Structure 1
Amino acid sequence: MAPVPYVVPLVDSTAVFKPEIFKGKVLFCTGGGSGICRGMTEAVMRHGADAVIIGRKLDRLTQAAKELSDTTGRTCIPAQGDVRDPKTLRDAVTKTIEKFGRIDFVICGAAGNFLAPIAGLSENAFRTVLEIDTIGTYNTIKATIAHVRASKGSYIHVSATLHYNGTPFQAHVSAAKAGVDALSAVLAVEEGPHGVRSNVIAPGPIDGTEGMERLSVKGVADKQFAYPSGRAGHVKDIANATIFLFSDAASYITGQVLPVDGGSEHMRGTMVPYPQSVLDPASVAHMIKPRL
């Protein structure tokens, strides 16, 4: 009988951390209406914080905020905004302060991605991803920093592991996320003396997310990634890292990038067949999910 690899168990943060470690705290989260950032928001709320989630689609935000409030017993409110538009972020901050009076934690999570080779990537598409991910992170920092200074709070920026190596069809997001990592490091150095921490969480492949759906390649064996930890990532894995980094247990951790990927980055190949995909991109077009 062949040996069976060990599978890391999926643990809920409430089984490890005290339920009210964030009591009285307030979270400001861009991209919090869905996916990974919604899971991060829910986890922080389960440990006592209230939250504001920011996104472009108010109807989806409103529904998500209601569900998060009902699920956690805390208060979550929606604030419509676009991270590319500084005014809308300032308005969201004003709404947060009017409701809660403070901001302790900020998650910079708004992002965009799709598969495209450089030769087939328009200048506008490249610029748009940088505007959402990198400039959007900068705009979020600018809008919130005075309040995070006042609370001696903390930032978490949601990045990726794609730019650690050259990843075909991912020039736009690789450049954008490298910028996010750099911004976080500078923020940690400049704002540390003011009592502010800044770290990055870099998720690996996370099952059940829109991002994973967009990057999945059709016609390739289900196991496109190898997982030394025995399984694909779950939103709870990112949530658990979030609770740790925002907690006092991480008070001496700042300016760091934390990959949460089950070790898959060490085993990663390309998402599309190589070198076929770069020699003849049209031959793999049927394998790629159309842009949304």
Structure 2
Amino acid sequence: MSSVFRANLLAGQHAIITGAGSGINKRIAERFAMQGARISIIGRNADKCAAAAAEIRALGGEADGFAADVREADALAAAFEAACERFGPVDICIAGAAGNFVAEAAAMSANAFRTVIDIDLIGTFNTFRAALPLLRTARANLLAVSAVQSSMPTAAQAHVCAAKAGIEMLVRTLSIEWAARGVRCNAIAPGPVADTEGMKRLAPGGDSSWTRLLAGIPMRRAAERDEIADLALFLCSGAASYINGTVVTIDGGQSNLGSQPFGDMLLDSLQSA
């Protein structure tokens, strides 16, 4: 990431991003800060949020961290209030907090299934609901981070498929209900993304797992975090001012081939564990 921040596309705007202590959402926070946004990072781990915000500040951006679990609506609302006291009304809200693990449905407990639904789907609703009364609604943007499993049934991912499909229908519904308020609501659906903790969990076999995974992607590579951040930046910028209620897939064409290579790899990883 460049050490020179370019106040440009998002100059003066306040972006709240959940799950931005690491991975994709951290890179989105960095990219938005590069474009002049003031960044509020919200997550369960206060130390990770503070460290991510400190990295942005060290490069010349404006950022602060706030601890809250997206599953706890009252605590999340309080974190949003604190963020707005720090940086003003919300222009951009990104729901990025997520959970995942590899498990077949027959071996999964109800509590395990519910955990991912609560973090991903309920957490997205809680995030957007907490943001609504604090939005600068004439130009506000809501963006959910989904995944290709939302529309690509995948073995050992029933919990994620259900949660992400729910997120995308929620986004489409809010895009209808809240458009008259001046709010746009969209989602991005990444496929495999390199150098993220989530993919380390989903490809525990190292190089052999990655080889099998990439064989199911027409472009034969995973996405870079920068590519996801650039798409998020576009959707939250004025260049996308008439895009509303849309889910943009960014997966190198993986979903066009289907989930079997990915699902088979996940099942094999369970059998060898």
Please, what TM-score do these two structures have when normalized by structure 1?
0.86
CA distance in 1, matches of 2:202, 2:262: 8
Counterpart among 124, 145, 148 of residue 132 in structure 2 = 145
Residue aligned with 1:187, SS: helix
Residues 287, 25 of structure 1: alpha-carbon distance in 2 compared, 3 angstrom cutoff: farther
Counterpart among 91, 104, 109 of residue 78 in structure 2 = 91
Q: Does 1:178 align with 2:169?
A: no
Q: Does 1:229 align with 2:219?
A: yes
Preserved CA contact (<8 Å) 2:11 2:35: yes
Residues 214, 30 of structure 1: alpha-carbon distance in 2 compared, 3 angstrom cutoff: same
- Percent of paired sites with the same residue: 39
Post-superposition Cα deviations, 1:19-66, rounded to whole Å, max 9, x if no partner, equal 411111000010011000001111111000011000111111111110
- Counterpart of 2:192 in structure 1 is 205
Return the index of the structure with the highest Cα Rg: 1
Preserved CA contact (<8 Å) 1:157 1:200: yes
Over the aligned positions, Cα root-mean-square deviation in angstroms equals 2.1
Deviation at 1:88, TM superposition (A): 1.3
- Counterpart of 2:66 in structure 1 is 79
- Counterpart of 1:271 in structure 2 is 262
The runs of at least 4 consecutive aligned structure 1 residues that moved more than 4 Å come to none
- Counterpart of 2:31 in structure 1 is 43
**Superposition pairs for residues 1-292 of structure 1, below 5 Å?**
19-71=7-59, 73-218=60-205, 220=209, 222-225=211-214, 226-268=216-258, 269-273=260-264, 277=267, 284-287=269-272
In structure 2, runs of 5+ residues without a counterpart are none
Deviation at 1:166, TM superposition (A): 2.0
Deviation at 1:151, TM superposition (A): 4.7
Preserved CA contact (<8 Å) 2:116 2:160: yes
Q: How many residues align?
A: 267
Q: Which moved more, 1:163-172 or 1:222-231?
A: 222-231
Q: Which moved more, 1:128-137 or 1:221-230?
A: 221-230
In structure 1, runs of 5+ residues without a counterpart are 1-11, 278-282
Preserved CA contact (<8 Å) 2:154 2:263: no
Residue aligned with 2:28, SS: helix
Question: Residue type matched to 1:231 in 2?
Answer: R
Residue aligned with 2:81, SS: helix
Q: Which moved more, 1:180-189 or 1:212-221?
A: 212-221
Deviation at 1:237, TM superposition (A): 0.6
Question: Residue type matched to 2:270 in 1?
Answer: A
